[in-house]
Structure 1
Amino acid sequence: MKKFLFDCGTRDVTASIGILSLRLLAGAMMLIGHGIPKIQNFAALKATFPVPHFLDKVLSSPASLVLCICAEAGATALVILGLATRPAAFLVGLCMVFASFGYLDAAPWFQTSPTLVETKELSIMYLIPMIAIILSGAGGYSFDALLHKEDKRRRW
């Protein structure tokens, strides 16, 4: 289990460049567009931040915001660096599942008009690369690859 969670996956050069670009681009979009603005506007958001309806008995609005910041800023930074990549991508993906099917539960799946903004489409579009990163690992150009050297060739 430890090998699956913290191993970098493939070390093939071409595949590693593809995974690196996926990690950097999807991670930067999430961090710059969602994580950092939530940190900057913490005081204004903490009273009104939404809590998914199935967690409203367990979480308060500030706690929901802190968990969202941990995923969208902290875990996303780990995905960008390629450090503990699979668990970090899982946290970001879980946050996107909560956004899609918790907060945006009644919203439509796709944006059908220029003025319709709240749809599941964006959060699912962030979920898709996180699933790919969970399945593939961080690739050869990551801190996971530096920390977990391969001693012998894999047989699977």
Structure 2
Amino acid sequence: MISFKDLNGFKVDLTFEKDFFEIEINHVLVVLKHEGKWLLAKHKVRGVEFPGGKVEKDETLVEAAMRETLEETGVLINDLEHVAEYVVHGDVPFCKAVFTGSVVKIHSNYSLLETDGVVWMNDFELDSCEYLSFHMKDEGISAIRKRVGELEL
């Protein structure tokens, strides 16, 4: 397990094991590399980040990850694989599951409501991006990116 403080000062525990934490997982994150580029969304306020969000009622974690990715980027994915889980020990602690997968289709005219669209970046572009969301700037994301790079589907 990796423990660190995020940019808000909250303790975060990250593991690459499945079902490690006792807290219910109610958020998802998709960290996916396709043809040498990372799939990212341009959040209207926070900046560039990996797609993800809250799990809706009666939705599985995989369904939530696929839905959030499509809603935020217009990219349809499948073959999801568990990568990691982490708990943010904030005022109200929450747990997030991290997935990777394969791109099925990239919609060019998808109506995005939550973001300003999809962004594809190679490692250098992502490492040097000045418009990253604060979510993208901690050691947890670095460890997850490394793991996904090792798994590349």
In the superposition, the TM-score normalised over structure 2's length comes to 0.23
Q: Higher helix fraction: Structure 1 or Structure 2?
A: 1
Higher relative contact order structure (alpha carbons within 8 Å, sequence separation ≥ 6): 1
In the superposition, the TM-score normalised over structure 1's length comes to 0.23
| Pair member with larger Rg | 1
